[in-house]
A and B are shown apart, each in its own frame.
Chain A
Amino acid sequence: MTGYMYPNEIELQWGLLIVLYPYITGLVAGAFILASLERVFNVREVQPTYRLALLTALAFLLVAPLPLLAHLGHPERSFEIFLTPNVRSAMAMFGFVYAWYLMVVLLLEIWFDYRHDLITWTAGESGFMRFVHRVMTLGATDVSPRALRFDNAAGRIITIIGIPSAFLLHGYVGFIFGSVKANPWWSSVLIPVVFLFSAIVSGIAAVLLIYVISGVIRRKPVDELCMGKLASFLFYALTVDFSLEMLDFIHRLYTAEESIKILSALVTSRLFISLVVLQLLLGTVIPLITLALTSPAFERRAIVKVPAAMRRRIFVVAAMLVEVGIFCTRWNIVIGGQLFSKSLRGLTVYKLQMYGLEGLWVSIGLVLLPLAILLVLIRLLPPWTDAGPPAHRAPGTGAVVTF
């Protein structure tokens, strides 16, 4: 501790678990927005990742409330948020935003998209899988052209509702921080927007990574066109995200309000590694330059032409760096916002625990859990468009797509 902290501020109240919460929710929103792009704007190239992105969003969404629950002093009272919410509280809306997104958007969209396949699969299956797929159809086994047209139309409408919902989900998480006027590091009208774009960035990078890794595991070639498009999207989103963060940064520097001295001290001392080195340099600038040069973001064939295998590896490394960078963004906001005193006179330190509910191991577990859930989901609902069980219809077209 340096300088002066109010006595009750010395221990941090929100630790690693609360860093995970916006990180995981961001992946959900980002993955979903990627899927929606394909569906609403008919971006054919990223079609192989459409279902994968939806399942990724679902897997992470199922885990999103867990870090919050684990962090509560009284998790057994958490249902009070639903029963007697304080309508003036930003946090009280969490349950409703979450339930809306899970029930109305994600589950419905996945169901409409998979319904036809579920029925087709049950015909050629037996035993447990047949039972599970049958239950999943919810008894709706009509496969007439009219019913399929309805599936398609419903899916499209839900996606259109889903895009603002995904914006709401993560913009709202940003608002929880941005509306704390007591904290000059958080209090900014830009925070929800920055959260949103960093969410899109992290979601695209995550889907790109999961897509490549699944290709390796399944020993199937990845679609180069799809990779190129994902990398271009990643570049565009990263550019917007970077610009917004720079805007916030320049605005703070230029207006130089009361808090500027302590925030400068914060950035140059406590957050130097996680903000300047990891978030800005490794997580943003390097991927930006690499993607600008090697992805088809500007030209159809990229500025620097590299062999496909090499290009794939570059994209994967860039996506991994981006994930590290976005994780650090969350860290710098959540932890960084508590490292300085609201007296604006001192800095404290965060001591990360290893064990216990708020410890490192639980957090690692919570990051791995969605991946385990995703494996199960992929098993139940194969998202593959290449040689998966029946050939998949390109959403919105009704045509059979083969690769």
Chain B
Amino acid sequence: MDDEGLDRREFLQRCGAAAAIAWVVRVATTEAEQRGDYKAADHLYGMAIDPAKCIGCARCMEACRAENDVEAGAVRTWVERYVLTTDGQTIVQAIDEKHQTKAPVDEHKILRTFFVPKLCNHCANAPCVQVCPVGATFTTPDGVVLVDKDYCIGCRYCIQACPYGARYLDTRTRTADKCTFCYHRITRGLVPACVEVCPSGARIFGELKDRNSPLARYMRFSKLQVLKPHLNTEPHVYYANLDGEVR
């Protein structure tokens, strides 16, 4: 080719390269900016759950699995269905993501029924953090309990120590795993996937310290309870008007 100009192929190649560079620069700067802006110590996250609003659709479970690549057979969040019967029994089931959960008793015998979403309670006084022999499970300055997969030795003591059944062993990495409050989302100002998709607003996520956050407002106007308070784990997940049958 002569020196007068670019041929079409060369032009397209250069455009492509320029676009790629622009994309990389944009992504890098966005991330860098966000990292720079985000100071974990300025935040303290929590979640409130309103069981009365939960309709048991399991969209939170699906969203969590998709967002966090949760392997089959394990859950980071789940929904329990409580069925109180007229003869005084309490039957509990975990809702199936494929919506195949059948009512455990004849509907005429049902006195009352309700749903309770569950997840890691991100305890301030977390037994899992206490027992981890190498410190692979830790609490972030913004109050989230996380697992360092590159550090976890897979002893599963944390799974035994969690009173809420929130932890499991990821058989692909052979390390402990659990809900992260979608840490990769919340540090970018988003809400966790389960909160994002909940159609009835049964999960309220936000800042515990900030008086104006949706969570703080909800907590001001609700009667709250935590799960298994006698264990003194100090959860950061709060339940509104919780039924005494829920454990």
Contact = CB atoms under 8 A, between A and B. Distances in A.
Contacts of A94: 133
B194 interface: no
A92 B134 contact: yes
A342 B128 CA distance: 15
A80 interface: yes
A71 B169 CA distance: 12
B238 to A, nearest CB: 19
Contacts of A7: 74-75, 78, 94, 165
A90 B165 CA distance: 20
Contacts of B164: 6, 342
A255 interface: no
A344 B247 contact: yes
Contacts of A342: 163-165, 247
Given A80-B134, A86-B133, A182-B161, A8 B154 contact: no
Given A74-B174, A343-B165, A4 B93 contact: yes
B11 interface: no
Interface string A186-219: 0000000000000000000000000000000000
Given A8-B74, A72-B155, A74-B152, A181 B163 contact: yes
A272 interface: no
Interface string B160-183: 111111111100011100000000
A91 interface: yes
Contacts of B153: 72-75, 77-78, 80-81
A115 B92 CA distance: 66
A4 B127 CA distance: 23
A256 to B, nearest CB: 16
A183 B154 CA distance: 20
Most buried by B among A6, A68, A84, A343: A6
Most buried by A among B93, B131, B160: B160
A345 interface: yes
Interface string A86-108: 10111110100000000000000
A92 B231 CA distance: 22
B157 interface: yes
A389 interface: no
A86 B158 CA distance: 13
Contacts of A338: 160
Contacts of B74: 7-8
Most buried by A among B91, B129, B247: B247
A149 B173 CA distance: 56
A9 B160 CA distance: 9
A91 B133 contact: yes
Interface in B68-103: 73-75, 78, 80, 91-94
A88 B168 CA distance: 22
A81 B133 contact: yes
A6 B173 CA distance: 22
A180 B132 contact: no
Nearest to A75: B153
Nearest to A94: B133
Interface string A1-29: 00111111101011000000000000000
A3 B165 CA distance: 15
A89 B132 contact: yes
Given A86-B133, A180-B161, A182-B163, A91 B231 contact: no
Contacts of A56: none
Contact of A89 (B130, B156, B160): B130
A343 B118 CA distance: 12
Contacts of A180: 127, 131, 160-161
A77 B175 CA distance: 11
A390 interface: no
A19 to B, nearest CB: 14
B76 to A, nearest CB: 9
A73 B155 contact: yes
Contacts of A72: 153-155
Contact of B131 (A8, A78, A90, A344): A90
B92 A81 contact: no
B38 interface: no
A341 interface: yes
B75 A88 contact: no
B169 A13 contact: yes
Contacts of B132: 86, 89
B134 A81 contact: yes
A74 B154 contact: yes
A86 B152 CA distance: 12
B97 to A, nearest CB: 10
Interface string A232-250: 0000000000000000000
B174 A343 contact: no
B75 A13 contact: no
Contacts of B161: 180, 182
A341 B131 contact: no
Nearest to B155: A72
Q: In the A-B complex, list the 7 residue pairs whose CB atoms are closest, starting with the nearest.
A: A73-B154, A6-B165, A73-B174, A182-B163, A92-B133, A4-B92, A86-B135
13 contacts: A4-B80, A6-B118, A14-B160, A73-B152, A73-B154, A73-B169, A74-B153, A74-B154, A85-B135, A86-B132, A86-B134, A90-B131, A182-B162
Interface of B: 73-75, 78, 80, 91-94, 118, 127, 129-135, 151-157, 159-169, 173-175, 231, 247
Given A7-B78, A94-B133, 6 more contacts: A8-B166, A13-B159, A14-B156, A86-B132, A88-B129, A343-B92
